[in-house]
Structure 1
Amino acid sequence: MIRARALIAAPLLVAAHPARAQQVDDAQAWWQLNGVAPISKRVRLTLEQIMRVSDRQGGLYQTEVGTLLGYKLDDHFELGFGYRRVGGHNRQRDTDEDRIRQHVVLNFGRFVGRFRVDERFRDDRPGVGIRIRPLLRYNLPVGRAKGLAVFYSHESFYMPNSTVWGQRKGYERMRNIVGLALPIAKGVSADVGYLNQYRLARGTSPATMEHALTVQMTLSMKAHSVPKVDD
């Protein structure tokens, strides 16, 4: 009986090993700095700077600089429109692109949602890549300190079209973060956590599992209350 079970299990183990080998793991670190300035009671301007490093990509592989204009409809809904310049470095040198972004943010207490649409333009090739990014975040307050909370967020990336420069239509990846929201000082806060990003195998590219330390610091100048979401 034992020998029979071994004969049955052996082909399954052999078949499972190549599939597992096709997944690539990568250790990363992501930093983001946001500066928020209120223009009026309902309008705010956010300046963003992002830097990402990776073992697999040979160090610094992406920087992003952007602006975002937010309009607060009421306590639960906010509209946003912005631009971001993305620079590729080291093994990602040919990935420079411009992005135009629109989103709506929904704030209902501990739950925050965001529905974002990106239009992506590459420097070297024609075509516009559309990307849809729904996000849901849950914040659980901890202790008595205002703003101190444990949070979890999930974001999905769906491409409704393909482009000549490499975007492929379909579900591309998911991004999950668990971390701690920290009030540091008046107008200064940070989100520190573990980020797990899974990219599906597409074309000749294998599936990729990225593990990252993520730190997002926000500096607010007398800003009205706005929900925090990951980016």
Structure 2
Amino acid sequence: MRLFPILAAAIALAAPVPALAQQQDEQLWEQLNVVLPVAKGVRVTAEQIARTSDRQEGIYTTEYGVLVGVQIAKGVELGVGYRHVGFFNANTAADEERIRQQIVIARGRFAGRLRLDERFNPGGDEIGFRVRPLVRYNLPLGRSRVSLFGSHESFILPNSTVWGQRAGYERMRNIVGVNVPIGKALSADIGYLNQYRLARGGARAQMDHALTVQLTVNLDKLGIATLHD
């Protein structure tokens, strides 16, 4: 399969700064979601995330969280949740607690999510706010349940903090991949993720190339798309 290096090269050439001016990293991202119905139109999602990096010398981030989603209309869901984020190995950042609110809208082959994060860091009293708009397109392959997908997410920081957050456009994530059903309630998103962090605050720009694998155990049928984090 030559698709992975071809996509990586294409996105690197399209980046807004020369490749030699960037830091490059190869990573593996894993996510597990378990979706449970708790009432009519209400579901709870338990989440586990682990990310491994060459530059960070192994697993550098883990996330554990829970999200409560409420369906307010067909294909429209409001959600609120919490995550504990831990950092390891060469990633020396302080662990964070995060609260988030989001709206997810699914219409045909398109799904979109607008998320607001509040970041709590032991390095200071300020709350770091983060706005994350995401759009995803799904393309079914014939009559099979397998589909291709592509998504884009931007990270916009409205404020700066003493513990390190800097206001402005911070990064983007782009994913191309395939969604494969595995049984009745289990599905897998497998794809190539490209994350580009802009050069900000004296730090060099960084481009991450990751194999992303997301498994979802969905025991609910609200018709709301599960999107990447």
CA distance in 1, matches of 2:25, 2:212: 14
1:172-187 map, 5 Å: 172-187=170-185
Match of 1:7 in 2: none
Counterpart check, 1:190 vs 2:160: no
How far the C-alpha of 1:127 sits from its partner, in A, is: 1.2
1:171 alignment partner in structure 2: 169
Offset at 1:145?
2.3
Aligned to 1:122: 121
Structure 2 equivalent of residue 31 of structure 1: 30
- 8 A Cα contact 1:120 1:129, kept in partner: yes
| Aligned match of 2:12 | none
Residue 36 of structure 1 contacts residue 223 of structure 1 at CA under 8 Å; is this kept in 2?
Answer: no
User: Unaligned 5+ residue runs, structure 1?
Assistant: 1-17
8 Å Cα contact 1:44-1:223 kept in structure 2: no
Q: Provide, for residues 120-158 of structure 1, a one-character-per-residue CA deviation record: whole Å limited to 9, x for no partner.
A: 001233211000000000000013223x11000000000
Per-residue CA distance 1:98-140 (angstroms, 9 max, x = gap): 1000000011010000000000001233211000000000000
* Percent of aligned pairs with the same amino acid: 55
Q: Which residue of 184, 196, 205 maps to 2:203?
A: 205
Cα distance in 1 for residues equivalent to 2:151 and 2:187: 17
Determine the structure 1 residue equivalent to 2:81.
82
Work out the CA distance in 2 between the residues paired with 1:51 and 1:82.
Answer: 18
Superposed displacement of residue 221, structure 1: 2.0
Q: Following superposition of structure 1 onto structure 2, how do residues 62-77 of structure 1 map, counting pairs within 5 Å?
A: 62-77=61-76
Normalization by structure 1: what TM-score? Answer: 0.89
Q: Which residue pairs with 2:4 in the alignment?
A: none
Consecutive unaligned residues of structure 2, counting only runs of 5 or more, are: 1-16
* 1:134-186 residue CA offsets vs partner (Å, 9 max, x unmatched): 0000000013223x110000000000000001110000011000000010011
In 2, Cα distance between equivalents of 1:189 and 1:155:
22
Task: Note the C-alpha offset of 1:224.
Answer: 3.2
Q: Does residue 220 of structure 1 match 2:226?
A: no
Normalised to the residue count of structure 2, the TM-score between the two structures is: 0.90
> 2:75 touches 2:223 (CA, 8 Å); kept in 1?
no
Aligned CA RMSD, in angstroms, stands at 1.3
Q: Is the 8 A contact 1:188 1:220 kept in 2?
A: yes
1:23, 1:209 within 8 Å by CA — same for their partners in 2? yes
Could you say which residue in structure 2 is the equivalent of 1:22? 21
Query: Aligned partners of 1:44, 1:185: CA distance in 2, in Å?
Result: 21
Alpha-carbon distance between aligned partners in 1 of 2:32 and 2:104, rounded to the nearest angstrom: 20
Q: Alignment partner of 1:90: what SS? A: coil
Q: Determine whether 1:109 maps to 2:108.
A: yes
